[in-house]
A and B are shown apart, each in its own frame.
Chain A
Amino acid sequence: MNIITELAKWAIPFILFFVPVYAYFRKVPVYETFVEGAENGFKTAVKIIPFLVGMLVSIRVFVDSGALEILTDILRPFFLVVGLDPDILTIIPLAIMRPLSGSGALGVATQLIHQFGPDSFIGRLASTLQGSTDTTFFVLAVYFGSVGIKKYRYALKVGLLADVVGLLVSIWIVTKVFG
């Protein structure tokens, strides 16, 4: 087994072991302290429900309508102009989906990986892209919503700019390394 997958497997058990044991030796009443902290879990989770529902409804209606394919068709000429391999175009739906919905993007990526094979160029590109950008739009809506922020100012611009760079760099590096 690879070191990295082992590390991923051990991370949570290690934290759950190390933190309470260390704290116990520092004379922290571990169980009571845990309960005290956990109390806020419910409040915060419930508070983000309106933002989750609002975002998920809009995103789901958009995606299920087939709008993603239309958007892909609109964007196709731009990608061709930049001189990208037509193969790479199959990645566009994933690139659009990534900032919107985590589970949606994972679905698209999984489908691409199975369709083209995990060790194909598209499979590797989809994997890299899935691992390297985040659901920016969704995260902003939920995080800001949870504390009542209404004006995001330049937050969305910064996040989406990073996503675009992440996409372009992913294409470049995967071509370079595996191309």
Chain B
Amino acid sequence: MVNLIWLIMLAFGILISTVRGNVSQVTESALKAAELGVEVAIELIGVMSLWLGIMHIAEKAGLVQSLAKLFGPIIKKLFPSLKPDSKAFGPIIMNLCANMLGLGNAATPFGLKAMQELQKENPNPDVASPAMITFLALNTSCITIIPATIIGVRMKAGSVNPTEIIGTTIFATACAMTTAVCADYIFRKRDRL
């Protein structure tokens, strides 16, 4: 499915540019995007190192474990395939917390770390494990309590009340997250390997 979507976006984009007599646009877009990909990754090196370093301190101090214990009961229900003492729980919880607080650039390092831990417990390294899918479902639909970026945009645009959309955002993300959890549960039951 990813292969198909990737191909359709690329081929469809090129076709439309061609039909509109704007072929040179394709070259420019492709090269610019390729450059951007590396830029994003380079920027991520710093943020990634910072948060992985802080997380390592938190781990050694027992903070990650306390966090895991606090959220353990809920999170363990969501990931029945993981062992109760799985090392993936720490980064999973930190990622979800960062997402909730709208700390997008802190969420990614924890998320990638969680994927690495989940991959260690994955019997089939080419194929997504149910725990990974559950994690990504939660990650992409996670409740946002502080949509910091968009509040900033609203402030700059001169909004009378930049934070008034927090309530609607929390409600919409709560519904999306509920959907993700239910859909994940249903598909997981249907799609046993």
Is the pair A152, B147 in contact by a Cβ cutoff of 8 Å? no
> A124–B128 Cα gap in the complex (Å)?
37
Task: Say yes or no: is B70 at the interface (Cβ < 8 Å to chain A).
Answer: no
Task: Say yes or no: is A82 at the interface (Cβ < 8 Å to chain B).
Answer: no
> A136–B51 Cα gap in the complex (Å)?
22
Is the pair B136, A124 in contact by a Cβ cutoff of 8 Å? no
Task: Say yes or no: is B68 at the interface (Cβ < 8 Å to chain A).
Answer: no
Q: Name B143-157 residues within 8 Å CB distance of A.
A: 144-151, 153-154, 157
> A102–B87 Cα gap in the complex (Å)?
29
User: Chain A at the B interface: mostly helix, strand, loop or mixed?
Assistant: helix
Task: Say yes or no: is B78 at the interface (Cβ < 8 Å to chain A).
Answer: no
> A2–B152 Cα gap in the complex (Å)?
13
Q: How large is the interface on B (under 10, 10 to 19, 20 to 34, 35 or more residues)?
A: 35 or more
Residues of B with C-beta under 8 A to A60: 29-30, 32-33, 36
Q: How large is the interface on A (under 10, 10 to 19, 20 to 34, 35 or more residues)?
A: 35 or more
Residues of A with C-beta under 8 A to B45: 41-42, 45-46
Task: Say yes or no: is B75 at the interface (Cβ < 8 Å to chain A).
Answer: no
Known: A58-B6, A132-B169, A166-B172. A148 touches B125 (CB 8 A): yes
Task: Say yes or no: is B5 at the interface (Cβ < 8 Å to chain A).
Answer: yes
Is the pair A38, B150 in contact by a Cβ cutoff of 8 Å? no
Is the pair A162, B177 in contact by a Cβ cutoff of 8 Å? yes
Q: In the complex, what's the smallest C-beta–C-beta distance from B175 to chain A, in angstroms?
A: 4
Is the pair B33, A147 in contact by a Cβ cutoff of 8 Å? no
Residues of B with C-beta under 8 A to A152: 1-2, 128, 133
Q: In the complex, what's the smallest C-beta–C-beta distance from A66 to chain B, in angstroms?
A: 6
Known: A19-B58, A62-B10, A169-B171. A41 touches B109 (CB 8 A): yes
Q: Which of B10, B61, B161 neighbours the largest number of chain A CB atoms within 10 Å of its CB?
A: B61
Is the pair B137, A158 in contact by a Cβ cutoff of 8 Å? yes
Is the pair A134, B142 in contact by a Cβ cutoff of 8 Å? yes
Q: Name B101-140 residues within 8 Å CB distance of A.
A: 101-104, 106, 109, 111-113, 115-116, 118-119, 125-128, 132-133, 136-137, 139-140
**Which 3 pairs show the lowest CB-CB distances between chains A and B?**
A37-B56, A131-B147, A41-B49
Task: List residues of B whose CB falls within 8 A of some A CB.
Answer: 1-2, 5-6, 9-10, 12-17, 20, 22, 25-26, 28-30, 32-34, 36-38, 40-42, 44-63, 101-104, 106, 109, 111-113, 115-116, 118-119, 125-128, 132-133, 136-137, 139-142, 144-151, 153-154, 157-169, 171-173, 175-177, 179-180, 183-184, 187-188, 190-191
- 5 example contacts (A-B, Cβ-Cβ < 8 A) are as follows A45-B41, A48-B112, A123-B159, A133-B176, A136-B140
Task: List residues of A whose CB falls within 8 A of some B CB.
Answer: 2, 4-5, 7-8, 11-12, 15-16, 19-20, 22-23, 26, 28, 30, 33-42, 44-46, 48-49, 52-67, 70, 102, 106, 109-110, 113-114, 117-119, 123-124, 127-137, 139-141, 143-144, 146-159, 161-163, 165-166, 169-170, 173-174, 177-178
- Additional A-B contacts beyond A26-B61, A46-B45 (12; CB < 8 A): A5-B162, A45-B44, A56-B33, A56-B36, A67-B16, A124-B165, A132-B168, A143-B115, A155-B133, A155-B137, A158-B137, A169-B172
